[in-house]
């Protein structure tokens, strides 16, 4: 069986407080994009994982797809040993949630393959044990997210009349470092109010708190954001803690930016 885990972007991102457990509370709007990996799992005599596409850091045994299978197998021993193949096109550690999507889609795949009859709520609970972003990919619809990102409330937002250009500059931004650069504070205007405004107004309203410290340390990332605006983006932002950026453009009006091969560029019309 094969599934196609997609990525997400953050529309706004505010770090509101530090929690007693060492994590941070945040507020953001997750929006899914059709840029996908491919994930296949078939019954096998032993567990194995093969990879293709963009290199994935770390050992195969630490891959989130394995972790998702083991998590469900504890409660559902009928899940057999699996031969898993993951083809990566979404860069890892880029703020796009590619790894989180792979883990969540593995849960969905196994739920269907073995007819486990788990509800979305149950799958969300399992996904939360894999990572803070994973529950979103069970819902996979625009959501206002709070808590660590696992508290989700669907929002009425459709950007089908726009095109997206996503750039991964190949820079690794350490998420732990990025959080240390933020002074938590509540947003001046709720994100749920801002996203109801026309996209053309988001430039002055919709903010990712990580941009200031990340752009200071990596000015080339900030320069890419300005390139997106100069190329006609109605709104541009970094997603997550970076380093990927996206621009929202009028439908089917995506520019050629002339970037070299060190960058991964995805156009979503």
- Residues forming the active site: 8, 133
φ, ψ at 193 (rounded to 5°): -80, -40
With contact defined as beta carbons under 8 Å apart, do 95 and 240 qualify?
yes
Question: Would you give the DSSP letter of residue 196?
Answer: T
HSE (CB half, 13 Å, CA atoms) of 183?
1
Q: CA 55 to CA 160: how far, in whole Å?
A: 31
Question: Would you give the DSSP letter of residue 119?
Answer: -
Q: CA 32 to CA 17: how far, in whole Å?
A: 25
Alpha carbon 39 to its chain centroid, in Å, reads 16
Please, what sign has the CA dihedral across residues 86, 91, 96, 99? positive
Q: Respond yes or no on whether the N-terminal peptide bond of residue 164 is cis (omega within 30° of 0).
A: no
Residue reference for tokens 């009028």: 250
């Amino acid at each position: 069986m094969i599934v196609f885990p997609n990525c997400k972007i953050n529309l706004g991102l505010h770090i509101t407080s530090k929690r007693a457990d060492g994590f941070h509370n945040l507020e953001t709007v997750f929006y899914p994009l059709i840029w996908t990996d491919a994930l296949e799992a078939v019954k096998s005599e032993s567990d194995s994982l093969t990879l293709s596409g963009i290199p994935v850091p770390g050992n195969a045994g630490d891959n989130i797809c394995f972790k998702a299978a083991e998590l469900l197998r504890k409660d559902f021993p009928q899940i057999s040993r699996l031969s898993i193949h993951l083809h990566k096109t979404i860069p890892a550690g880029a703020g796009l949630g590619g790894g989180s999507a792979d883990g969540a889609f593995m849960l969905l795949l196994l739920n269907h393959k073995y007819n486990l009859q788990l509800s979305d709520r149950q799958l969300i609970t399992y996904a939360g044990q894999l990572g803070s972003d994973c529950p979103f990919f069970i819902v996979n619809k625009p959501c206002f997210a709070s808590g660590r990102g696992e508290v989700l409330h669907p929002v009425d937002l459709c950007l089908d009349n726009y095109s997206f250009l996503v750039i991964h500059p190949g820079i690794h931004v350490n998420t732990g470092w990025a959080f240390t650069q933020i002074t938590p504070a509540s947003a001046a205007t709720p994100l749920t109010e801002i996203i109801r405004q026309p996209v053309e107004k988001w430039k002055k309203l919709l903010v990712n708190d990580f941009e200031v410290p990340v752009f200071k340390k990596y000015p080339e990332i900030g320069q890419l954001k300005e390139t997106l605006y100069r190329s006609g983006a109605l709104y541009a932002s970094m997603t997550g803690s970076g380093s990927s950026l996206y621009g929202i453009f009028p439908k089917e009006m995506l520019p050629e930016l002339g970037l070299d091969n060190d960058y991964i560029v995805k156009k979503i019309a």
